[in-house]
Chains A and B, each alone.
Chain A
Amino acid sequence: MITLIVIGGIILLLVVIVAGIYNGLVTGRNRYKNAYSQIDVQLKRRYDLIPNLVETAKGYMKHERETLEAVITARNSAVNANQQASGNPGDPAAMKELAGAEAALTGTLGRLFALAENYPDLKANENMIQLQEELTSTENRVAFSRQAFNDAITGFNTSCEKFPANLIAGSLGFHPAELLESTESPEERKPVKVSF
């Protein structure tokens, strides 16, 4: 009799613990999903700026069609990758694809800006200067929001891996989420040269 009650009690306790773990994990997942929306906003802003940039550059860089097209292609695949990712942020495949697409986009943009150095008229173009400025600022925002997102993911992953959550997280449908890796090289992250 007593043993039955004790077993019952233990089962009850387990259920309560599982419910607690489940709720904690849901909160963690919601937190990083909401954190992704901050990145999403800025990525979209970036994708909107790029066609304008290419349009402006086109007038000056008549012989660089290939580069310009490469930028547009990279932008379009990044748009797709972001669509996938925003539907399911933290999904390893989607995150890897987005990071790859973003890296490709950053690379082609870098090439475009390097080539633009050869066109003084383009460099002096008001529109171009403004777009370049906005792109940099948007990338900064992405970097900052990405840190918040990655921290949220790390928090979630840690709570997935902690005992006793690690025993049941998988069967409750929670899997470790993937960080969104930075697309910048270490040189780009050097402190600002402050000039007064």
Chain B
Amino acid sequence: MDFFAQQEQSRTRSLYLTVLFVLAVIFVVVAVFFAVQLALYLSMDKLSISRTGFKWFDGKIFLPVAFVTLGVITMGSLFKMLQLRKGGSSVAENLGGRRVNRLSADKDEKRLLNVVEEMAIASGVPVPQVYLMTEETGINAFAAGYTPGDAAIAITSGCLSRLNREQLQGVIAHEFSHILNGDMRLNIRLIGFLYGIMVIAIVGRSLLWGGRRSRNEKGRGQTALLALALVGIGYVGQLFGRIIQSAVSRQREFLADASAVQFTRNPDGLAGALKIIGGFSKGSRVESPNAHEASHLFFCTAIRSLFATHPPLDERIRRIDPGHSSRGNESGSGSGTVYGGQFDPSVSMMAADPGEAGHYIGHMTPRHLAYSSQLLSALSGKIQDELDDLLGATAIVCGLLLDRDSKERNHQVMVLNKIAPVEVVRQTLILEKEIRNLKPVFYLPVLELAIPTLRCMSPAQIAGLKRYIQALVEADGKLSLFEFVLEKIVVHQLGMVYSHSKRPHIIKRIDPLLPQLANLLSMLAKSGNKDIQEAKKAFEAGFESVRSAGVTYRGAMPENVAFKDVDIALDQLTLAAPGIKRIIFDTCCRCVLFDNKVSIPEAELLRATASVMDIPVPPFLFPPIKS
């Protein structure tokens, strides 16, 4: 199943989840109603009951009760979801996570950052923010976020200190496959639902608390009774929630395990991690009080509960490593063979066969992992350190935009000096030489590594950075493809940080998007082929070969396409539904790979397209990356 199919399926699963939730809510409403009725019944004196009888179903009471209960659940869910929309980092922080910073990182933390960054680059997912749950000694991890663009990965300190690199890689690969399989949004929704139901219990508890201070003797008994009933219902509701949680979550865990093995081609890493959890007294327990509602996020069972959110360890291990005997939990690591791990890192391109390109989306291969690991280790330590500092990351983005031509560059520096604070200008000048020494292959990976740091800036600073970028781009009077790509990626990736409110209208048909697609394709074709005739052929090839998907574009290649048009085109194309995005991206890939050669400008524009459309595409494997 490919990335787009997963995304579509994730929607169907959401529907299934919603149905289950509605059932649970109906149950809760009915239960609350009877609790209220019972409280009323007990409060009335026996005499009047025997005289008039007691109506167990009274519409006059049911309606307001149902109304209030539904209101509470909805509001509770909405509140939680709004909070969670702020992205994975807010989930990680609520669970006691501390952001891992390369500058203050010890050896283990650096290893963690390397593993995460390697995988992000290998899979084409924006580099997530990395959190360490310092108080947790159990072995566990989770990924959270609303979209891949605001994902955060958090691991416990037990996980960091007890696993070796292979095993850590297995765990992180498992988390990445949650990101790639579209599980995160589902998980966030689940947390929201659970919270909504739990609010009933919270209300009950606070009523109990408040009721003790009530002066009215009789009223006190009533309230206490109602409160107790609410607490009980809240917990029963939660029980339902747990059942839903486990129903939705367990299959996803098997899938994530399978994908993790596929990504790393190393079943020993993941199996080893699971075995260590099995052999460790603390196992995968998480102590944070907020862990309950998020327990389905974790790598392994975080909370003991009747309804497991995760399949049993033994079964997971057996699926990965069929030779495993159930009692033989070990605490060391097996040094097994890496099956299928024979690959040649010098192999040149991502895909020689255009048809393969789409196949890679949402996956990574050991080849891509090896490539991104090479890429990162070829990057100088100085740049890596700078990328983790707010000022350093800002300066690197500015530095990437400085022109090679000294006259243009001087003008740019002067413009920057006018609008940016002193420290930004100084740092940019300090780093200029270092950035100049980077090979073009590094430009986009470096930019992507800077993004998670830039996301830690304040809204004012992010707005500032956007201004500097715009000024630097405009200073030389001409817009280059790289400048366009950089601005587009930064604005898109950072635009999501503080604004999550807008929910765009999704376009489900490709026809209205064809003119936009033609503009984008024209730019792609021309950036890869100097000769206009060749470009036209590439353009046609793009449309031609996806005809089976119903794409027939009759017009010729638009000749004069400005960056402004591509800008608009990209913004429009982002709105397409997953299935349409697949066709669009396929068309682009075919156009780029038409001549079986990929130039850096082409790759950069394709990367920006993927980034803006939130499609995780592994990088093209450009052979010479030694700097």
Q: Which residues of A contact B (CB under 8 A)?
A: 1-2, 5-6, 8-9, 11-13, 15-16, 19-20, 23-24, 26-27, 30-31, 34-35, 37-38, 40-42, 44-45, 136-137, 140-141, 143-145, 147-148, 151-152, 155, 189-192, 194, 196
Closest B residue to A148 using CB positions: B458
Determine whether the beta carbon of B391 is less than 8 Å from that of A15: no
B36: A residues at CB distance < 8 A: 5
Interface of B is mostly: helix
Indicate whether B427 reaches chain A with its CB closer than 8 angstroms: yes
Residue pairs across A and B with Cβ atoms less than 8 A apart, 28 shown, are A1-B40, A1-B60, A2-B60, A5-B61, A5-B65, A11-B210, A12-B71, A12-B72, A16-B75, A16-B76, A19-B202, A23-B83, A26-B94, A27-B90, A34-B98, A34-B456, A38-B101, A140-B391, A141-B427, A144-B390, A144-B423, A145-B389, A148-B458, A151-B461, A152-B458, A191-B422, A192-B422, A194-B417
B430 near A137: Cβ-Cβ < 8 Å? yes
Residue B79 is within 8 A (CB to CB) of chain A in the complex: yes
Bound complex: CA A177 to CA B86 (Å): 22
Smallest beta-carbon distance B146→chain A, Å: 14
Residues of chain A within 8 A (CB-CB) of B76 are 16, 19
Chain A residue contacts of B421, Cβ below 8 A: 143-144, 189
Question: What residue in chain B is nearest A188 (Cβ atoms)?
Answer: B422
Minimum distance in angstroms from A162 CB to a CB of chain B: 16
C-alpha gap A68/B65 in the complex (Å): 75
**A-contact bits for B126-165, CB 8 A (1 contact / 0 none):** 0000000000000000000000000000000000000000
Give A40 to B104 CA distance when docked, in angstroms: 9
Asked, given contacts A26-B94, A40-B104, A148-B390, whether A16 binds B72 with beta carbons under 8 Å apart, the answer is: yes
A115 to chain B, nearest CB (A): 24
Q: Is B599 among interface residues, defined by CB-CB distance under 8 A?
A: no
B459 at the interface (CB under 8 A from A): yes
Closest 3 CB pairs of A and B: A151-B458, A140-B423, A144-B391
Q: Give bound CA distance, A189 to B423, whole Å.
A: 9
Known: A16-B76, A147-B461, A192-B425. A38 touches B392 (CB 8 A): no
In the complex the two chains form, is A38's CB within 8 Å of B389's CB? yes
Q: B68 — which chain A residues lie within 8 A by C-beta? A: 5, 8-9, 12
Known A-B contacts A5-B65, A42-B389; the reply to A19 vs B79 at CB < 8 A is yes
- Given A34-B98, A41-B101, A144-B424, the answer on whether A23 and B199 have CB atoms closer than 8 Å is no
- A151 — which chain B residues lie within 8 A by C-beta? 458-461
State in angstroms the CA–CA spacing of A150 and B340 once bound together.
52
Q: How far is the CA of A20 from the CA of B424 in the complex (A)?
A: 37
Closest Cβ–Cβ distance, residue A37 to chain B (whole Å): 6
* Other-chain contact of B461, A12, A40, A141, A148 (Cβ < 8 Å): A148
Closest to B195 in A: A19
Q: Assess whether A23 is in contact with B79, with CB atoms less than 8 Å apart.
A: yes
Which residues of chain A have C-beta atoms less than 8 A from B98's C-beta? 34, 37
Q: Mark B433-460, 1 if CB is under 8 A from A, else 0.
A: 0000000000000000000000011111
User: Chain B residues near A40 (CB, 8 Å)?
Assistant: 104
Q: Which residue on B lies nearest to A140, using beta carbons? A: B423
A16 and B79 contacting across the interface, CB-CB below 8 Å:
yes
Task: Specify which chain A residues have a CB less than 8 angstroms from the CB of B101 in the assembled complex.
Answer: 37-38, 41
Whether A44 contacts B423 by the Cβ 8 Å rule is: no
B64 lies within 8 A of A6 (CB): yes
**Residues in chain A near residue B99, CB distance under 8 A:** 34, 37
A152 CA to B98 CA, complexed, in Å: 16
> B413 to A194, Cβ gap below 8 A?
yes
Q: Which B residues lie within 8 Å of A155 (CB)?
A: 458-459
User: In the complex, which of the residues A1, A5, A137, A191 contacts B427, with contact meaning CB atoms closer than 8 Å?
Assistant: A137
